[in-house]
A and B are shown apart, each in its own frame.
Chain A
């Protein structure tokens, strides 16, 4: 496998940013090699340095970054010892890059075709070496590339603007732009994040075809399942370092580093329903202190870990990890209640909806029916999930349930009382019994409010008087969602995504609601934080008996948390029932296609003593 010279050959890559409290070591000694037709995946939580690593390979780490490396060779070109590297010649031609955010990575004022043609025009300008006739030839090449990434009607699409394309098409356009000059290496940063499962599956197929055609791919993702379906090798990044690297199958089934193992344990689809996904977390990140960076979160930590840095140990050939205690079994997250008691779905439902229909004005005088004849009921202590692709009417259904929208037809009842079709005055008293948790909690917070005022909003007015009166209760709520009450004077911008979602849940719980409507509550979070939040939902439900209406496009998450599930497609309910039944033996073809598009991880090896002690584990 390693016979030919690798296209990417990097050793000791370091990127340092100046920060307010000392330098930030975003990338801290990364080694990687990648040959033609191979795919190396880099996984890790948010902020671990994945994107910075990829950008540094293109010389785009940013004007404030200091980038150093012992070796940096790209497509045979030495960028460390070869004088000043000609980055521009490299970009697009040797390395194609698909940047993290598909929605904003295309210039909104230029046509998609012009964006894709850009690398060609750049080449054309930068020398007579490959004089491309402008105009026709470029246009032909663009259409050809659009066809290659399976964009339907390339002629039309090329003339459209980014805002006229769906997320999946934009991502394809970006990939086309990265590939149009035929670079041997493709860097793809989170190419499937924020896409529906079916679209995601098609993008992954596309990348697999590229790899088969000989392109080397560096795939960056925080989603282990996505990575598992494509990568030959996986590198797990944590705080700027590859803490584990090895062949994909082996790393996923038999992870060595405690961090990799906690990551895999947090993947909902791999764990039994209701099982805990996360280990208790330290509430604050400590400073770098000479010892192992993971020590404050590591379930296997011992005294030696805190004083000396762990060395890289081989697990097997080509599989290594940065840990001194390889092979020690990891405690699984303890299950407080191994078999969660099934809620009883009988008696008066907490919330009942019948024949809900809602349409919105469309272009011209038409109306677009977004929800059509949807019925469901939800009982106390129960979790009901709504799944479907984006645009299938999930959020509208949630808003109808919350009484934020009035249905055109059909009705909603809360504990048997009419909830839709009554004046807001009647509803107001009962509003506190239903609460809402949104996908992006930041947008629902006033950025100037402190955490305590955000939570106090739930008690009515968020003034200082309310905060003072309710202070003990606010502290209690923050504790109950696993937040340090000392955070209560922070502002939303100073919190991490997971902390913000916890604040949103604390606020929702302030009124002791009977029902939480959660709209994509974990889709903006990486897998470890997602695991913590899902555990939190479960704890809260067991403690308070609150019912959850849980909206998600992630079937893995839904399979893990929900009791019953509704599958929606283009506003209609295509299937509903117990999760085990629907996911186990889907009746509707649409459900089947959703489930088959879901990337799956290999089953973990059974826990227990390893068959062979890892080689090198006792090297020092």
Chain B
């Protein structure tokens, strides 16, 4: 199937462009914000002008912007993200260490959120009674509640009051529960609203009446027929989802003092640690692009009508 291969190649190429674009934006953002990275790097320790100049030359900051950018992109192409100013370690190594806990959090939060949304939507779609109203209220609350607020609330209740779960750190499964729930709560409302909306639209279609006329029960109807129709718009929401997960990790890792990319990013921004910031941005952009390719494939699995359009 050379068609599929060609399609994949095209998608990977555009993914590379997205990553390069994101890196450029990160570079520009850091270059244009006021403040001198060399000064920040040296911190409060007294430094002679000679030392400052030496460090500046070391980091390439004596060169014009265009040259710095060209060098930056060049190194990026070879996979070299540079060294962290703060940690004095290669950025690649720093990020690799932190990637695990973040992936764990994002995956757990996403799975939990999706499962919750499926449960909510399947049990309430097309039914006009109290449960629907209760579910809507819950969704509205979670959609409008900021992540750090939910996190602090859960922390207060389950860690400090009930002492069910540890309050901070990454010490095994128990310490993942509260952060994952916080993350799930930030996406479950939107997910279940979109799902229910699409499922209710599908419930009005003639094929549903047809299935009912075959003796299909309401639950089977929702699981066998309508759910898939609900999943379609959910996959088109993937961009929002990935964004929500990324920004979620920053907030949640900070609130729960968990290790992870989000916390490293937050710290790097305040300390103007350019290589780390761009490194995180590059990784996020790559994840975003690859997940989007995956979503495209999933979309075709769900909707057979699109399979023939895969070139």
Contact = CB atoms under 8 A, between A and B. Distances in A.
B220 A125 contact: yes
Interface string B180-219: 0000000000000000000000000111011111111100
A161 B304 CA distance: 7
A58 B215 CA distance: 9
B211 to A, nearest CB: 7
Given A109-B304, A161-B305, A122 B209 contact: no
Contacts of A408: none
A104 B205 contact: yes
Given A104-B207, A105-B207, A108-B207, A163 B305 contact: yes
B217 A122 contact: yes
Interface in A86-109: 88-93, 97, 99-101, 104-109
A118 B209 CA distance: 13
Contacts of A123: 215
Nearest to A87: B215
B270 to A, nearest CB: 48
Contact of B216 (A99, A109, A118, A161): A118
Contacts of B210: 97, 99, 105-107, 174, 177
A177 B206 contact: no
A116 to B, nearest CB: 9
B213 A92 contact: yes
Nearest to A174: B210
A122 B214 CA distance: 8
A105 B205 CA distance: 8
B7 to A, nearest CB: 16
Nearest to A177: B214
B28 interface: no
Interface in A601-619: none
Contacts of A92: 213-215
Given A60-B209, A104-B207, A109 B214 contact: no
B63 to A, nearest CB: 52
A110 B209 contact: no
B304 A122 contact: no
A107 B214 contact: no
Interface string B207-248: 101111111110010001100110000000000000000000
A60 B212 contact: yes
Contacts of A55: 209
Interface centre among B215, B229, B302, B305 (most CB of A within 10 A): B215
Nearest to B219: A125
A60 B214 contact: no
Given A105-B207, A107-B225, A109-B229, A97 B213 contact: yes
A101 B224 CA distance: 21
Q: How large is the interface on B (under 10, 10 to 19, 20 to 34, 35 or more residues)?
A: 20 to 34
A91 to B, nearest CB: 4
Nearest to B302: A109
Given A108-B305, A109-B228, A122 B205 contact: no
Name the prevailing secondary structure of the B interface residues.
helix
Given A107-B207, A109-B229, A88 B304 contact: no
Contact of B303 (A100, A109, A111): A109
B303 A101 contact: no
Interface residues of A, number: 33
Nearest to B128: A63
A122 B305 contact: no
Contacts of A106: 207, 210
B138 to A, nearest CB: 25
A88 B219 CA distance: 12
A119 interface: yes
Contacts of B209: 55, 60, 99, 105
A620 B137 CA distance: 64
A90 B215 contact: yes
Interface centre among B210, B228, B302, B305 (most CB of A within 10 A): B210
Contacts of A60: 209, 212-213
A88 to B, nearest CB: 5
Interface string B262-289: 0000000000000000000000000000
A109 B304 CA distance: 6
B3 to A, nearest CB: 10
Contacts of B225: 107, 109-110
A122 B206 contact: no
A605 to B, nearest CB: 39
Given A109-B228, A125-B220, A99 B304 contact: no
A234 B137 CA distance: 53
A58 B305 contact: no
A355 B209 CA distance: 48
Given A109-B304, A125-B220, A58 B213 contact: yes
Nearest to A121: B220
A122 B216 contact: yes
Contacts of A88: 215-217
Interface string B131-174: 00000000000000000000000000000000000000000000
Contacts of A90: 215
A161 B225 CA distance: 14
A181 B224 CA distance: 19
Contact of B211 (A89, A104, A118): A118
Contacts of A110: 224-225, 228
Contacts of B211: 107, 115, 118
B213 A122 contact: no
B215 A119 contact: yes
Given A99-B213, A161-B305, A122 B207 contact: no
A608 to B, nearest CB: 46
Contacts of B214: 91-92, 97, 118-119, 122, 177-178
B305 A99 contact: no
A163 B210 CA distance: 17
Nearest to B225: A107
A163 B308 CA distance: 11
B206 A89 contact: no
A93 B215 CA distance: 8
B182 to A, nearest CB: 34
Given A109-B228, A109-B303, A91 B213 contact: yes
A177 B213 CA distance: 10
Contacts of B228: 109-110
Contacts of A118: 211, 214, 216, 224
A105 to B, nearest CB: 4
B305 A91 contact: no
A53 to B, nearest CB: 14
A333 B209 CA distance: 41
A109 B206 CA distance: 14
A219 to B, nearest CB: 16
A335 to B, nearest CB: 42
Given A99-B209, A109-B225, A163-B304, 8 more contacts: A55-B209, A100-B206, A104-B207, A105-B206, A105-B209, A109-B304, A126-B215, A177-B210
Q: Shortest 4 CB-CB distances between A and B: which pairs?
A: A92-B215, A91-B215, A97-B213, A105-B210
Interface of B: 205-207, 209-217, 220, 224-225, 228-229, 302-305
30 contacts: A55-B209, A60-B213, A88-B216, A91-B212, A91-B213, A91-B215, A93-B215, A97-B213, A97-B214, A99-B210, A99-B213, A105-B206, A106-B210, A107-B207, A107-B210, A108-B303, A109-B229, A110-B228, A111-B304, A118-B211, A118-B214, A119-B214, A122-B217, A122-B220, A125-B220, A161-B304, A163-B304, A163-B305, A174-B210, A177-B210
